[in-house]
Chain A
Amino acid sequence: MSGKPSDSDSSLVVLWRLFGLLRSQRGWMLLGLAMALLSTLSGIALMAVSGYFITSMALVGAGGVAINYYTPAALIRLFAILRTGGRYAERLVTHEATLRMLARLRVWLFGRLVPLAPAALVELRSAELFSRLRADVDALEHAYLGVLIPLLVALVVILVVMATTVVYLPTLSLPLLLLFLLGGALLPVWMLRQSRVPGAIVVTCNETLRALAVDGLRGRAELALYGAEDAHAAKLSAVAARLRQAQRQLDRLQALGSGGVMLAAQLAVLATLLWGVAAKGGGLLAGPGLVMLVLFVPAAFEAIAPLPEAWAQLGTTLASARRIFTLADTPVPVPEPGPPSPPIDRYDLRMRGVRLRYGAQSPWVLDGIDLDLAQGRRMALVGVSGAGKSSLVGVLSRLYPCEGSITLGGTSFDAWHGDDLRAQIAVVEQRPYLFDASLRDNLRLARPEATEAQIQKAIELAQLSDYVASLPQGLRTWVGEDGIRVSGGEARRIAIARVLLADPPILVLDEPTEGLDAGTVTRLYAALDAAMKGRSVLLITHRLGGLAKLVDDVATMQQGHIIECLPVADYLNRLTLPETSPTR
């Protein structure tokens, strides 16, 4: 798995890597292919033998020599059974293989993405990129069923047809091969090329329509107030019309593709008839053979029919695979040292000259931070938005790489494995993520083995008791996308309960009161007070307010620097005009 795939990587390399990932499922994949071949070839053979059989019988009826009709009749029955049973088996086996791959792929991708989050994963921040990632994973999962199987089956069928014609009517081989290529490869590939422009228009138009829909909802008040509703509707119609035109082009191309395969099949039959009758006239081909070929050829084209779709999917699959591999191959931003993490007995945190920026050309967000947080001290870090406060959280949780030195209990951060470090330094995020799971599972996230009593205690300390009691299903209540909506304040308190369960010696709180109304904030203070007992605390906020009661020191941050660090009393005394002070 070396080498970073890029657009220049050949399609074969990407496909090879994709199926290489799924090497463990090779048995199932091959079995599925075998079943697909069995059922397809049986179907073709059924038609061919039937044609051969009835022509022979007709010749007998017309006064010819008696023949052994048991064998072809038995073959017809055999192929019918193989065709039917084979198709059923094919469906089951290919789906079994797909499901196995799906599980494997997701676990693989998850494992690759974990060390990248969040520093190297822009994808997860933008809704659009995220949904593209989702579509990419879906596309990869259907690569086997939608691309590999139809392409290989078609290939084998063409080979079988060629072999058969070489035996019965060698002159027919070339015209048939040309028609197969025309209907199964040239036409679909040409069609794909032609589809590129309208396809791109469809994508942009759909994005614009979505954006306009959001405008029509979020901006409805502005639209109504500024009398712009008609203009908005007109814009919508115009984009829809453009979309329609592009879709019309695509639909025509698709019709051309599928119609083209059918036309190729009919031309192939015609060609068979032409060469066959000529050969028959020349005594090179017997009647039964002629009819057999005429029935055999269109049956073979059934394996060609799915090709236009398969080619189209191959394109998306390759694009998806390239994107996914590029993402998965992103260098890990914060390399993990091997175990063990150093043993410590003090939890003093010390930062010296810590610098961080998000890109090689970007400005420094942290520009030489010197900060000491002695064990058990509580410090507030204040500063206007954009001063770099939240970036400090990323550095302290060892999710972002930084320059300078950070030590915990005298040991360098670099010697710590991230997970071990995060057991010492827990973070309450500004926007904690709640998973689509029960409330209990969300609480136990940092400590799955927590007992019921511990959970109850954490809930109580986080001031969540009333909230949990108000839920009809209590801790079993489902939260997240499929469950109840949780307000910002509730989510914050759930995150605090999470951290209380984890019981870390150092606690980092990122804007714990941001965006909450006064009542909620008051309740939160009690929760925070409980959470902070017996721990070192770094509390990050742009609005100190009542939080002043919870801390010992206040450090002020400005443009990536700590400009001062004072005991909280001194800090407050210095604010001569609290009414208009910028921190108020």
Chain B
Amino acid sequence: MTASTSSWLREQARPTHRLLALGVTAGVVQAVLLCFGAWLMAHMLAQAVLAGRKLHELWPGMVALLVLALVRFTLGLWQRRMTFEAGAQVSDNVRNALEQRVRRLGPDWAVQQASGDIVTRSVDGVQALVPYYAGYLPQLALTALIPAVILLAVMPADPWSALILLLTAPLIPLFMVLVGGVAERASQRRWSRLRRMGARFMDALSGLTTLRLCRATGREEALLAASGEAYRLETMAVLRIAFLSALVLEFFTTVSIAVLAVLIGFRLMWGTLGFEQGLFVLLLAPELFLPLRTLGTQRHRRMEAAAAAEDLITLLGTPAAETSSRPDSAAARRNTFATRQVALTFDQVSFGYEPARIVLEDLNLRVDAGTVLTLVGSTGSGKSTLLNLLMGFASPQRGRILANGKDLATLDMPSWRQHMSWVSQRAHVFHGSLRDNLLMAAPTADETRLQHALRASALQAVVARLPQGLDTPLGEHGQGLSGGERQRLALARAWLRDAPLLLLDEPTQHLDAATAVKVDIAIDALAVGRTVIRVAHRLHALADDARIAVLADGRIVETGRVADLRASKGAFAHLLAADRAA
């Protein structure tokens, strides 16, 4: 665990110091009660064995022992409750911070997280923090405090035994640090190897079809057996050292008890020590080492929390791109946007995700209200970026984008966004019902509008097929939607939103031709009367009179009607030829 991870973990505990302190205090009180109980026990046994007291003379002590046991039990529950709440609070805080972070990083960043792996890992990671704060951290404090309490109790009873314990007890952490350093490094290596070997096995299972097709299953089986064997030999070599730290702890615990018992026994025989005192020490001796042993069983919690923390630090520490942060000033918030018609002007707009990677450069473009403009260009020419700028997911470094003459940079973003709908290449289906998925675009829409949107986007047949209709859960745990159905879902959202500006980012890219045609028909109906910017890739399917703009190297290099540009042998004709060749 690196120093920064360690300090991050400590930092997160700050708001819960009170809870943790209460938990640790409860632990210390239990140790005090334990000492008292041991004394009571030693006292009663001495009375019974040496003074020959009978049961009826000793019952008050028995009752006291019973009460002590119950109080310790209750305190133990209370301690767990305090430290659990501490862990819960930390994980809630971190989860909220994460959500805020992802929100600030914005859609542009989110899209780049191709696998989404780090975020799903962070969900589990946040969970892994709980046992660390609820278990490991308080136990760490108790490991220092409880032995001190016990030593203080032993001291007046038998200074010699206290001395022996005092000499051995600090040696344990020392030896454990010495051996444990080696052992921990070794066991971390072991964990990472174990993980890798597990990964290899799962890798083989994921690729089983490919293995069969390549007739490589027999070989893979032999490899798995061999790697398991190699792993065993390697791991055992490591473990022989790793277990030394446990051996040290065990050795000191056992040997000091043995030495104490023998020494106490002889001093009892010589009459230099009272039986009650001797027994008291012997009863307490194993308890001295118990916290340390418990800590050992919780070490994996720290390792897991540290591994999670590294992921979380990466996520929480990702610098927010300049491009996605915009001034959220009060002035902008007042500058709301409200209209039924949107005309757009790009005025010398330049944009790059990094200074060295310019995507758009001095781009000029006008889109009149109520017209349809189709953007074409090769992959990476900046078509999607242009849409991102319009949606406010990124801001131009130079130049202005005007909506009805108002600079986007000065507008209240939420009110501007209310004026647009967007259909992407692959619409996202959210966890929840189909209704939830539709209503997110227009939370106040009533049943009539909903039905209209379903009709217009040809989703009715899909709804009829779903077992619970609109309330069928969708997503990984629910019904799946095909590519075409997802796109129609996005269209239905756009219908519900009924916004004057419609942005279409290759909405039929991932559909087969027949489905694409159906979706295109639905799009045409939606486009009527709206300002539409459509990024297209099926150049052959473009109507002759469609107005297009050709993007290349971050600029608009050609604009005009499809029929004219096709004939002109310019950039568009070139793209068309390349597309035909494919």
Contacts and interface: CB of A to CB of B under 8 A. Distances in A.
Contact of A87 (B73, B220, B246): B246
B283 interface: yes
- Max chain A Cβ within 10 angstroms of own Cβ: one of B110, B246, B515, B540: B110
Interface string B238-282: 011001001100110011011001101110111100010011001
A51 B124 CA distance: 48
Interface in B200-217: 200-217
Nearest to B80: A255
B107 A227 contact: no
Question: Size range of the interface on B?
Answer: 35 or more
Contact of A57 (B247, B269, B443, B477): B269
A2 B386 CA distance: 64
B220 to A, nearest CB: 7
Given A46-B254, A84-B250, A433 B209 contact: yes
Given A221-B111, A240-B95, A522 B581 contact: yes
Contact of B62 (A244, A270, A435): A270
Given A134-B202, A251-B84, A55 B65 contact: no
Contacts of B510: 515
Q: Which 5 A/B pairs are nearest by Cβ-Cβ distance?
A: A103-B228, A287-B49, A50-B261, A221-B107, A219-B428
Nearest to A270: B65
A582 B48 contact: no
A502 interface: yes
Given A54-B265, A99-B235, A84 B477 contact: no
Contact of A266 (B69, B127, B211, B275): B69
Contacts of A260: 73
Nearest to A244: B88
Nearest to A513: B582
Contacts of B111: 220-221
A225 B494 CA distance: 11
B49 A50 contact: no
Contacts of B95: 236, 240
A218 B428 CA distance: 7
Contacts of B407: none
A106 B224 contact: yes
A298 B247 CA distance: 22
B197 to A, nearest CB: 9
A498 to B, nearest CB: 7
Contacts of A213: 116, 119-120, 122-123
A459 to B, nearest CB: 17
Given A83-B254, A259-B76, A222 B209 contact: no
B536 to A, nearest CB: 14
A178 interface: no
Nearest to A66: B269
A269 B45 CA distance: 12
Contacts of B213: 397, 399, 422, 426-427, 429, 446
Interface stretch (A149-157, A161-169, A201-209, A560-568): A201-209
16 contacts: A53-B261, A54-B261, A54-B264, A55-B279, A58-B269, A91-B243, A95-B235, A206-B127, A216-B99, A247-B130, A273-B45, A280-B48, A291-B279, A294-B41, A481-B199, A498-B214
Nearest to B243: A91
A69 B441 CA distance: 87
Contact of A217 (B102, B243, B427, B578): B102
A18 interface: no
Nearest to B579: A518
Contacts of A578: 540
B424 interface: yes
Contact of B513 (A208, A287, A583): A583
A421 B488 CA distance: 43
Given A103-B228, A270-B69, A278-B55, A62 B264 contact: no
Contact of A384 (B58, B208, B512): B512
B239 A77 contact: no
Contacts, number: 413
A354 B433 CA distance: 39
Contacts of B357: none
Given A50-B257, A278-B55, A103 B225 contact: yes
B92 interface: yes
B455 interface: no
A16 interface: no
Contacts of B202: 130, 134
Contacts of A267: 66, 69
B424 A110 contact: no
**Helix, strand, loop or mixed for chain B's interface?**
helix
A410 to B, nearest CB: 23
Contacts of A348: none
A102 B119 CA distance: 30
Given A92-B239, A277-B55, A117 B261 contact: no
A543 B258 CA distance: 82
B236 A96 contact: yes
Contacts of A281: 48, 54-55
B391 A54 contact: no
A16 B198 CA distance: 25
A392 to B, nearest CB: 14
A216 to B, nearest CB: 6
Nearest to A49: B261
- Max chain B Cβ within 10 angstroms of own Cβ: one of A111, A221, A426: A221
A436 B200 contact: yes
A138 B243 CA distance: 22
Given A210-B123, A259-B76, A291-B45, A88 B65 contact: no
A59 B52 CA distance: 12
A173 to B, nearest CB: 19
Nearest to B227: A103
A217 B113 contact: yes
Nearest to A436: B203
Contacts of B283: 295
Interface string A514-527: 01011101100000
Contact of B582 (A256, A498, A546): A546
Interface stretch (B8-16, B413-421, B524-532): B413-421
A207 B103 contact: no
Contacts of A219: 428, 430
Contacts of A384: 512-515
A128 B119 CA distance: 16
